[in-house]
Amino acid sequence: MGFLLFDRRSLTMLLILSELIFWLPNLKSEETLDSLLQDYAFRAFVRPKTGIVYNGSVPSNLTGIKISALRLRSGSLWARGVETYNEFEIPKGIIVEPYVERIVLVYQNLANWSASYYSLTGYTHLVPVLGLLAYDASNLSAKNLPELFIRSSGEKPISIRFQNVGLVPDGSVAMCVWFDLQGRVNFSNVELGNTCLVSQQGHFSIVANYTDVRQIRTKNSKATWLIVGSVLGGVVLVVVMVLVVMWIRKYMVKKKMGRMEREAEVGEALSMKSVGNVKAPSAMGTRTQPAIEHDYVP
């Protein structure tokens, strides 16, 4: 029984370890992801030729990410640049530090993994994160290579033309974002609606600040409620004024009726007599009898 218990525990631990190993790339940092993608990009070189783009494959647990590799001479990169490398346009005058004879430019498209590795609080990605990293090409079987430092000499920047840029939320502004190799985040303006201009290698995207959108919606909501409150307040005031006027009129009528009743009670009542089928008030008999003013009778 003890052996079986030990065996079950061992089997459980083995299953847990296998799961961790299988999903390990998902738990790694950006730097380790770059090393992993560098390894798989270099595997795409079969009988490599300079200046040809080779598309690589990624592990099944990173499905969606696209990678490719391009081998170049440093001198050629300086003199001619690269007219088109997927979304990147690399001008001439690129400096490579430290200098090596040949370099490999590894391209990354993180697709649905963009927010997992390069999330920004308060921002949403409008396009996938794209990476451009340079490595020494002297050993195409090497792993965990350090990145070379490439930068534009200043004559013309590196251009990134993103495809299928998402809609910018109302009230927000699209911004280019650049994640450098030191982990710093830099922002710049979007050119022509889908283009970012950069001077160095790294990871790039277009983002929008959705915090501003929430603030604008909150302000609009407050303004709406203020208008609604003002309108309702005005309506209530009008209703109150109408009721007051009606009460005053009713009070005045009631007061007038009371006065008339009091005057009627003080005055002399008239008797009612029938004239045919109609009853009408009738005055009492004359109180003062007529008298002749003079005794002279003609």
How do the pLDDT tens digits run along the chain, 298 residues long? 443 444 555 544 544 444 434 334 443 577 899 999 999 999 999 888 999 999 999 999 999 999 999 999 999 999 999 999 999 999 999 999 999 999 999 999 999 999 999 999 999 999 999 999 999 999 999 999 999 999 998 779 999 999 999 999 888 899 999 999 888 999 999 999 999 999 999 999 999 987 654 555 555 566 666 677 777 877 888 888 888 888 888 878 777 777 766 666 655 555 666 666 666 666 555 555 555 555 555 5
Tell me which architecture the domain covering 24-214 has in CATH. Sandwich (2.60)
Sequence ranges of the domains in the chain: 24-214
Report the 10 Å Cβ neighbour count for 184. 9
Chain centroid offset of residue 159 CA? 27
For the sheet containing 158-161, what is the strand order?
Answer: 82-85, 88-90, 158-161, 195-198
CA distances from 75 to 45, 53, 189, 216, 221 (A): 21, 18, 31, 51, 59
In 3D space, the residue among 171, 146, 112 whose CA is nearest the CA of residue 34 turns out to be 146
- Residues 161 and 190: their CA atoms lie apart, in Å, by 10
Quote the CA–CA distance of 178 and 160 in Å, as a whole number.
11
